[in-house]
Chains A and B, each alone.
Chain A
Amino acid sequence: MNIVVCIKQVPDTTEVKINPETNTLIRDGVESIINPFDTYAIEEAVRIKERLGAGKVTVITMGPPQAEDALKEAIALGVDEAVLLTDRGFAGSDTLATSYTLAMGIKKIADYDIIICGKQAIDGDTAQVGPGIAVHLNLPQITYVRKIEELKEGYIKAERLEEDGYGVIESSLPVLLTVVKEINEPRLPSLKGKMRAKKQEIVKWGVDELGLDKDKIGLKGSPTWVNKIFAPERKKGGKVLQGEPKDMAQEIVKELKKGNLI
């Protein structure tokens, strides 16, 4: 069974903060990481391969040249091959252009039974690229997968997480899955893996190698447009109580009653 995992290199958003005086982003020293949700996708793919004892796991990303670091990390975590889609022409892609570009990359990889994505990326939080790829490749999808119950030639049964429970869904293969955190606990990179990552060649494809329609990529292929960026309104700290627990508790109840909250 061959698996393609889509990942994204993202800034560690916990480090991205707003300078309250200038209302601008402070990015000094912000690290780039593999989107945390994608680490579950990588882990699941590697586990499937280990369980079946056969097949190949290929990781793919679209990004600037430095996104290679994320791919190297994925190799250290156990994936077999890595593809970087990188080209100036991809800059400014929204989710429509991104899903088209990734889908064309996956088409070039050609041999796949399952595509796995994280449920969303932490910088944009859109959760749109996975389903978008599925449509471009004319595939069914199972989103928010928290467990694969059964997997065999041409068939998968998985649990899909919703707000109030989970659905058990079966599908034919090939299929696109997006996975949630509950599905597994990602391993740490092994020393052997790190060594392999150092040596391994990363495949790089651009607009020409993929034979892309230039109207469908980058800014030109992106119907949505960031018009304005601003800092969110933050709540100002309120009343701080200190002292005896009993007194504080009564004070809180009084305040909440005043505000008609209880």
Chain B
Amino acid sequence: MSGKIRIIEEKCVGCKLCEKACPFAAIILVDKKAKIDLDKCTLCGACVDVCEKFQAIELILEEKVTTINLDDYQDVWVFAEQKEGIIQSVVFELLGAGKRLAEKRKSKLCAVLLGDEGIKDKASELIYSGADKIYVVSAAELKNYQDEPYARVLTELVKKYKPEIVLPRATAIGRPVIPRAAVELGTGLTADCTGLEIDDETGLLLQTRPAFGGNIMATILCKNHRPQMSTVRHKVMKEPVPDKERSGEIIEIIPKADWLISRTKLLNFVKEIEATVNITEADVIVSGGRGIKGPENFKLIESLAKVLNGAVGSSRACVDAGWIPYSHQVGQTGKTVQPKLYVACGISGAVQHLVGMQSADTIIAINKDPNAPIFEVADYGIVGDLFDVIPELIKAFKESI
């Protein structure tokens, strides 16, 4: 995509609307006229929209001549991640999202499943949850995730079967493998989508994702390249109810030897299951912040988590202070979580923390400071000393559960 943008100076009244609207800080006012910094401008058109009244900004987009035939590309693909032969729960959510898109495009929902010999037996699980067609590639080298062979196999399959949309999960497997495939294929990739829709008019995939740490949302298009690929954030889509009556097609593909070459090798995997469950999967999370005062007081957080059958989270401050391991950190530089219930204890609510937890269904915040920003996102705010409140909460929950 390319194009030209300019300010029509005679029409510009210096109202600053465009300056404020520009998400990329590319417009500044010089002598009461808007000036566009072309190094920063991405031709997104936000300024043109706000200048409707004065029509002082001219944007001409040159649609790139497409060298591929877009109609050759059909179907929606889901990348079915597995670990130790078990299809990860995140995949089923993805099938739910993919099904909706496939129906709208009147195409098929397919899944790609890579693993060792035994993996074929799992393909039917994907069919029960909505897939019409499963591409299975099995080889000893594909037993565990490895960047190079996984990316290569995906690339080869896409080249051969030409899907219109490819959806992997935004996980420690999906995020490194898909950009490799996207670069090989020379197509676009949008990361961490929280919303996926089909545009009624153009049939294009509208890929919505947070940017600037969740402070803005952006909708991204991939107009002239195929497939349209997006990694999808965890726990933002609903999981379909499996239907064991469903049938589908299973296609086995024999990988060529050179697809399986890997310069890296996984020697072993160390599971780190601590006293608490993985926070990205948990339905209830109780988190501690600076207000808990010291590492010993995470015991209090743990006891509350235990009563609620939840996991323990933390703000960045406690992780930086060495009170709790990094794997518990919620927020921008930690993990994004979406539990049913999130209890924030002694967390003031810096924006970096909020972006990691604000999509929880219900949020309870406990804080001494009634002006703490955490209360702005909380469904229930408790103004008080957490050392008094938490023991009472534990008692009250114990009595009621």
| A interface residues, Cβ below 8 angstroms from B | 11, 13-14, 16-19, 22, 24-25, 27, 30, 36-37, 64, 88, 90-92, 94-96, 99, 122-132, 134-136, 140-144, 157, 160-172, 175, 178, 180-182, 218-220, 222-232, 234-235, 237-242, 245-246, 248-250, 252-253, 255-257, 259, 261-262
Contact = CB atoms under 8 A, between A and B. Distances in A.
Contacts of B340: 261
B377 A235 contact: yes
B381 interface: yes
B350 A14 contact: yes
B176 A143 contact: yes
A245 B394 CA distance: 11
Given A143-B147, A163-B280, A240-B375, A223 B191 contact: no
20 contacts: A16-B212, A27-B25, A36-B333, A95-B191, A96-B189, A125-B192, A125-B210, A143-B147, A162-B171, A165-B269, A166-B272, A224-B189, A224-B190, A226-B42, A229-B218, A230-B216, A238-B379, A245-B384, A246-B392, A249-B396
Nearest to B379: A238
Interface string B251-269: 0000000000011111111
Interface residues of B, number: 110
Interface stretch (B93-101, B105-113, B179-187, B291-299): B179-187
A167 B84 CA distance: 13
A208 B206 CA distance: 35
Q: Is the interface of A mostly helix, strand, loop or mixed?
A: mixed
Contacts of A229: 23, 44, 46, 216-219
A241 B43 contact: no
Interface stretch (B52-60, B221-229, B241-249): B221-229
A92 B41 contact: yes
Contacts of A170: 264-265, 267
A163 B81 CA distance: 13
Given A218-B2, A246-B392, A122 B381 contact: no
A131 B389 CA distance: 47
B39 interface: yes
A199 to B, nearest CB: 27
B171 A131 contact: no
B148 interface: yes
A84 to B, nearest CB: 13
Given A239-B381, A245-B389, A11 B270 contact: no
Contacts of A94: 188
Contacts of A168: 266-270
B271 interface: yes
A171 B264 contact: yes
A224 B222 contact: yes
A201 to B, nearest CB: 22
Contacts of B190: 224
B222 A223 contact: yes
Given A95-B179, A125-B192, A143-B172, A227 B216 contact: no
A13 B222 contact: no
Name the prevailing secondary structure of the B interface residues.
mixed
B380 interface: yes
B159 interface: no
A168 B268 CA distance: 5
A128 B182 contact: yes
A226 B218 contact: yes
A178 B263 CA distance: 16
Nearest to A262: B401
Contacts of A130: 179
A178 to B, nearest CB: 8
B213 A125 contact: yes
Nearest to A30: B25
Nearest first, the 5 A-B pairs at minimum CB distance are A223-B188, A249-B392, A140-B263, A13-B213, A126-B191
A259 B38 CA distance: 52
A91 B83 CA distance: 40
A142 B326 CA distance: 19
A238 to B, nearest CB: 4
Interface in B268-312: 268-273, 278, 280-281, 308
Contacts of B180: 131-132, 134-135, 141
Nearest to A90: B39
A14 B126 CA distance: 41
A125 B381 contact: no
Contacts of A90: 39
A252 B382 contact: yes
Nearest to B358: A235
B237 interface: no
A24 B20 contact: yes
**Which residue of B206, B272, B379 has the most chain A CB atoms within 10 A of its CB atom?**
B379
Given A19-B20, A143-B175, A232-B210, A223 B265 contact: no
Given A37-B333, A136-B183, A64 B213 contact: no
B216 A123 contact: no
B24 to A, nearest CB: 9
B189 A225 contact: no
B179 A163 contact: no
A175 B264 CA distance: 9
B332 interface: yes
B157 interface: no
Given A225-B1, A227-B206, A249-B393, A241 B382 contact: yes
Nearest to B177: A131
Given A16-B216, A132-B179, 13 more contacts: A14-B350, A17-B215, A37-B333, A136-B183, A143-B175, A164-B278, A168-B266, A223-B187, A230-B219, A235-B358, A240-B370, A240-B378, A242-B370
Contacts of A128: 175, 178-179, 182, 189, 191
